[in-house]
Amino acid sequence: MSGRTSTLRGRVALVVPALLAAVVLLAGCGSARYQYVTNKDAGTFLKIPSAWQHQLMPGPAFIGIDTRNVSPEAARTLATREWVVGIDAAPKFDDRNLLLPDAADPKGFVQVRQLLPEEAATLSTNDLRNQLVSIDQEIQAQEEAVRQNPERARLEPEFLLLAEDLVHREGGVHGLHLVYQLHLGTGLVTVDQTSLLDRDQTRLYQLVFACSSWCYDRHRVEIQKVQTSFTIKPIT
């Protein structure tokens, strides 16, 4: 892929080695239609369709972190503070990409990461908004495109924010749920992203899916059910 697809991939952090944790696959509580992905230590679980694949990924994922300022020692430290599981609705799990924006089937990840002290002191809800893709910059670029060529920018938008909801969960867990659409060289892609913090803002929880907009329309209900099942009960 090239052009805007490469640009987006540059914004979406890549996965690099070494991560400790476990994925527990539970019986579907009486239903074979779903399976659970669980991190008991972090009090986190979600429910995905039984036909989907999931796999513990090496890390750290460096999502929302400027990798230019991370030393090898810091990367190893981050790896011990993070749990990332890739989720893939395709028949065969793609272990090369944590996120593939224009995938033909829903693909994404769930992440739990203990924040670095400097992050915990400064992270805001707006930072969560821009955790994966800089929403603010994309909105500004789209507004500028409308000023330059109103008709074309509205008929063929480069970016659309479809949903932005504040989230408040039990135990003080809080954050944002976003759904947005990007125009890449290969067509429209849709991203469905939940980014949350615990009460004390020491831990980041994320559940993200992306695929072509045609794919998202076909799998919207399934993706929404997975997002709704994303449960966090911080261990105290």
Sheet holding 231-232, edge to edge: 34-39, 44-49, 231-232
**183-224: per-residue pLDDT in tens?**
988 889 999 999 999 999 899 999 999 999 999 999 999 999
Please list the helix, strand and coil fractions of the chain in percent, rounded to the nearest 5, in that order: 30, 30, 35
Q: Tell me the pTM.
A: 0.78
pLDDT for the residue numbered 63: 52
**Cα Dmax for the chain:** 56
The whole-number average pLDDT for the span 126-150 is 90
The whole-number average pLDDT for the span 88-107 is 89
pLDDT for the residue numbered 184: 86
- Percent of the chain predicted with pLDDT > 70: 76
**9-27: per-residue pLDDT in tens?**
444 433 333 332 333 333 3
**28-47: per-residue pLDDT in tens?**
444 569 999 999 999 999 99
Quick one: which H or E segment has residue 129? Answer: helix 125-129
* Structure token digits, residue 59: 């890390």
Query: Is 165's pLDDT higher than 70?
Result: yes
pLDDT for the residue numbered 68: 43
Query: Is 163's pLDDT higher than 90?
Result: yes
Q: Which domains does the chain have, with CATH numbers?
A: 4-232 (3.40.1000.10)
CA angle 131, 79, 89 (to 5 degrees): 60
Q: Are 60 and 16 in contact (CB under 8 A)?
A: yes
